[in-house]
Amino acid sequence: MIDVPVVVDFWAPWCGPCRSMAPEYEKACALIEPRARFTKVDTEANQDIGARHNIRSIPTVAIFKGGKEVSRISGARSASDLASWVQQNL
């Protein structure tokens, strides 16, 4: 089985920067998949997951390899910034 890195966008529906970054995140996904898998976690609906990963501000994007976090960034980013950061950490 090939271990594909997972990129997680931690967000919440009430978060303006999260909503503005959503289309940029989708564009970054399209640029990088299938080299990584992309998902989103609503920290409002899944507070236990946010707490488990020590999410203190949103949006926060984290990369996981083999189930372990290898990098994270916080704050709204453009698709090109997200794609560049993900590629540097793959």
Q: Please write down the long-range contacts of 65-71, taking CB distance under 8 Å and 24 or more positions apart.
A: 65/3, 65/5, 65/6, 66/3, 70/5
29 in catalytic set? no
Question: Which is the catalytic residue, given 7, 8, 12, 18?
Answer: 18
pLDDT, tens digit (0-9, with 9 covering 90-100), for 33-72 = 999 999 999 999 999 999 999 999 999 999 999 989 999 9
18 in catalytic set? yes
pLDDT, tens digit (0-9, with 9 covering 90-100), for 1-11 = 468 999 999 99
Question: Which is the catalytic residue, given 7, 8, 12, 15?
Answer: 15
Query: Does residue 41 contact residue 24 with C-beta atoms inside 8 Å?
Result: no
pLDDT value of residue 31: 93
Beta-carbon neighbour count of residue 23 at 10 Å?
A: 10
pLDDT, tens digit (0-9, with 9 covering 90-100), for 67-82 = 899 999 999 999 999 9
Domain ranges of the chain: 6-89
Pick the CATH number of 6-89 from 3.30.530.20, 3.20.20.210, 3.40.30.10, 3.30.470.20: 3.40.30.10
